[in-house]
Amino acid sequence: MLDDKSILITGGTGSFGKAFVKRLLTEHPKIKKIIIYSRDEFKQSEMSQIELFQEHASKLRFFIGDVRDAKRLRRACEGVDIIIHAAALKQVPAAEYNPMEFVKTNVLGAENVIEAAFDSGVTNVVALSTDKAAAPINLYGATKLCSDKLFVAANNMKGSRELSLSVVRYGNVIGSRGSVVPLYLNFLKQGLSELPVTDTRMTRFNISLDEGVDMVFHAIENSWGGEVFVPKIPSFKITDLAEAVAPKFSIKEIGIRPGEKLHEEMITETDSFNTLDCGKYYVILPSMPTWNLDEYQNAFSASFVEHGFKYSSDRNSQWLSVEELRDLVKQHVDPSFQVVK
């Protein structure tokens, strides 16, 4: 499906972007062109020096640009078949104190991506979302929910264009930029004897980068337009994560940060009325689909979840153990990690 295709990735120098480009190059050797679109020229320079990317330099293009800049974005989308929209401002506390900056990037930037897709002959757009967009209590989550709604609704305004726009929503990635694990490991290196935890009751979803990339490939290949894809992934307790990193260290409870949730949700009870179980993934349907629902259900052997169903990190049936969390830290964050006794 991706043979001879050109793909643009907004925010392409982030953790997801690097992992996605690696998978594209190794699993889809007939890809025509990959455009990494981001604001930071230093990160682009660093990314271009990765050995695999140097080997395939003829297929890579690095565009400096911001999703806030509609004109630049349209220029970058010329000849593009698929857009993966990963660019966003993501830090919850920063959003509470800088709300309009998050609106400009996460909401207006999303609309710019949609308009660029409309104007450039793009056939497929997949936007990355977050569990914080479900029943948001912080500004970051609210901007991502608004972004999700824009991409879903755009399917009703595409006219005669052969274009599908969808969303993938998932949870925390252990070891990604801004996550707590690198912070904890840094504390260990500093010789500190206690780990800060916002609230000992806190739970979170977890997904690996590869699983996140898998979701995007799934959306590219299977989206009919307007879906929000949600993975079935495990949860973990923040206290178990602390024990996995430093089992003998004391925990210092510091209180929930501004805009932070005790537990994360990916599907709310209200969403359950429009949610299908498609096996490996849940799919939240658009309120006004542009396709036949019965045909969709038959195509994916899908059935509706029970009314009142809620998919939250504290009600999950899958949980990561301390040992599994420890393995994830070693595998995805620091291969040299050793438990401090």
SS3 helix, strand, coil % of the chain, rounded to 5?
A: 40, 20, 40
Choosing from 18, 132, 237, 261, the catalytic residue is 132
State pLDDT tens for residues 275-293: 999 999 999 999 989 999 9
Say what the pLDDT of residue 194 is. Answer: 81
Say what the pLDDT of residue 178 is. Answer: 64
Out of 3.40.50.720, 2.60.40.3880, 1.20.120.330, 2.30.110.10, which CATH number does the structure's domain 6-171+207-232+268-311 have?
3.40.50.720
Say what the pLDDT of residue 258 is. Answer: 77
The rounded distance, in Å, linking the Cα atoms of 140 and 146 is: 10
Reply yes or no on whether the pLDDT at 329 is more than 90: no
Residue 120 phi, psi dihedral angles, 5° rounding? -115, 5
Q: How far is CA 245 from the centre of its chain?
A: 24
The rounded distance, in Å, linking the Cα atoms of 289 and 282 is: 16
Q: Which residue has the higher pLDDT, 75 or 194?
A: 75
Question: Quick check: is 132 catalytic?
Answer: yes
**Where are the chain's structural domains?**
6-171+207-232+268-311
State pLDDT tens for residues 215-258: 999 999 999 999 999 999 999 999 999 888 888 778 888 888 77
Q: What is the mean pLDDT of residues 40-52?
A: 95
Least confident among 47-51, 92-96, 138-142, 270-274: 92-96
State pLDDT tens for residues 128-155: 999 999 999 999 999 999 999 999 999 9
112 touches 71 (CB < 8 A):
no
Residue 164 phi, psi dihedral angles, 5° rounding? -120, 130
Q: Residue 38 is inside which H or E element, if any?
A: strand 33-38
Buried b (16+ CB within 10 A) or exposed e, 217-242: bbbbebbbbbbbbbbebbbbbbbbbb
Closest residue by Cα to residue 88 from 127, 115, 117, 126: 127
The rounded distance, in Å, linking the Cα atoms of 86 and 13 is: 10
The helix/strand/coil state of 101 is helix
